[in-house]
Amino acid sequence: MNKILIALFAPLLFLCAPSFADFPEKNVVYQITFSPGGGSDVRARHQQPHLENELGKKVVIQYKPGAGGSIGWANLVKQKADGYFMSGINIPHIILQPLAREPGYQTEEIIPVVLFQQIPFGLTVLQDSPFKTLEDLISFAKNNPGGLTIGGSGTWDATHIANLQFDMMADIETTYVPHKGGKPKQTSLLGGHTMASWFGPNEKMPHGDKVRTLAYATENPIQVSPDVPTFKSYGYPLYSSVYHGVGVPKGTPEKHIKVLEKAFLKIAGLDETKKVKLKVGIMPIALDSESAQKLIAEKKVAWEPIVKKFSK
């Protein structure tokens, strides 16, 4: 009798079984949108063995650099949305690029899996600068419209949007000087070609006492420089950071995103990971997919009118 029942119900049991296999079943590609050897590559290489341990599969790192990361992100959104292809992502890049031009992708086409680190920006001057406080710098700018030169890492990046917001909040007019990345920006300030510059703590630390930061664009003083005030403490609610994380194409199954999310969040929570980041002036964070999506949506609402106003 039991054998007869098993024979009758076996097909039904098969139909009721899950139709999807465990994820991942094969190797996962981790795309880096900047050149080998850079910060994005170093981060991915640090994560790689931990990811392979958590996922139980090989994580293959490949590169697609160019155009400030947009070539890689345009490639990301064309991939099959199954969780087997992920890419490093940077905020505000993936928000500002589609607002200011046509980079080959839209912000909404990229779903963040996790954001694992933050680099806040602060207005930095040479040690012997006459600007001892942020108020000194603002006073000079008010008395010399356009006379204050402030360096940044590029056009329509975090430093550019921060400078525009700062001008609007402080009711001043400065001259923003874009550079092709962080290194030229630093060289320009050290050489006296700009009067101030937007530096992350990771950019400031290697220069020791040669430079000092007047204020950081964060909610609270940062861990590695707790003595430096915030713009908020001066009455300017300016918040500017680069956030690094990982994203997948829109349409990727939620259950696959959750698997990747869990692995990255575990790595982000390791004491080893936190120490490595803080040592070089990078703030360790661990924002899950939902929180990251919320942050992106909020930043887009805040930045869209500014980009429209100044990109004409």
For position 181, what pLDDT does the model report?
86
> Domain 122-234's class?
alpha beta
For position 16, what pLDDT does the model report?
43
Over residues 210-243, the pLDDT tens digits come to 999 999 999 999 999 999 999 999 999 999 999 9
Say whether pLDDT at 177 is over 90. Answer: yes
Look up residue 131 and give its two tokens: 């600007």
Per DSSP (E only), the strands in the chain are: 28-32, 59-63, 85-91, 110-120, 122-126, 149-152, 175-178, 196-199, 211-216, 241-249, 283-288
Half-sphere exposure of 103 (CA within 13 A, CB side): 25
- The answer, yes or no, to whether the previous bond of 92 is cis (omega within 30 of 0) is yes
Domain 24-117+242-310 identical in fold to domain 122-234: yes
Mean pLDDT confidence for 273-292: 95
For position 103, what pLDDT does the model report?
96
For position 5, what pLDDT does the model report?
44
For position 6, what pLDDT does the model report?
45
> Could you tell me if 121 and 200 are in contact, meaning their C-beta atoms sit under 8 angstroms apart?
yes
Over residues 87-118, the pLDDT tens digits come to 999 999 999 999 999 999 999 999 999 999 99
CA angle 42, 45, 51 (to 5 degrees): 140
Over residues 112-165, the pLDDT tens digits come to 999 999 999 999 999 999 999 999 999 999 999 999 999 999 888 999 999 999
Residues 307 and 168: their CA atoms lie apart, in Å, by: 13
CA distances from 114 to 60, 172, 265, 311 (A): 18, 37, 7, 30
Per DSSP (E only), the strands in 142-265 are: 149-152, 175-178, 196-199, 211-216, 241-249
Say whether pLDDT at 18 is over 50. Answer: no
**Is the CATH code 3.10.560.10 the one for domain 24-117+242-310?**
no
> Could you tell me if 124 and 228 are in contact, meaning their C-beta atoms sit under 8 angstroms apart?
no
For position 39, what pLDDT does the model report?
87
The whole-model pTM stands at 0.88
Handedness of CA 65, 117, 177, 163 (dihedral sign): positive
Helix locations, the chain, DSSP H: 2-16, 39-55, 70-76, 93-100, 134-143, 158-170, 182-190, 201-204, 254-268, 271-279, 289-310
For position 312, what pLDDT does the model report?
64
For position 311, what pLDDT does the model report?
80
Q: Which of 88, 102, 76, 25 is nearest to 250 (CA)?
A: 76
Domain ranges of the chain: 24-117+242-310, 122-234
Say whether pLDDT at 175 is over 60. Answer: yes
Say whether pLDDT at 9 is over 70. Answer: no
CA 174 and chain centroid, separation: 26
For position 180, what pLDDT does the model report?
87
Write the DSSP symbol of residue 287: E
Say whether pLDDT at 12 is over 90. Answer: no
Strand order in the sheet with 196-199: 175-178, 149-152, 196-199, 122-126, 211-216
Q: Is residue 298 helix, strand or coil? A: helix
For position 21, what pLDDT does the model report?
56
Task: At 29, give phi and psi (nearest 5°).
Answer: -90, 135
Mean pLDDT, the chain, whole residue set:
92
Amino acid at 33: T
Half-sphere exposure of 145 (CA within 13 A, CB side): 4
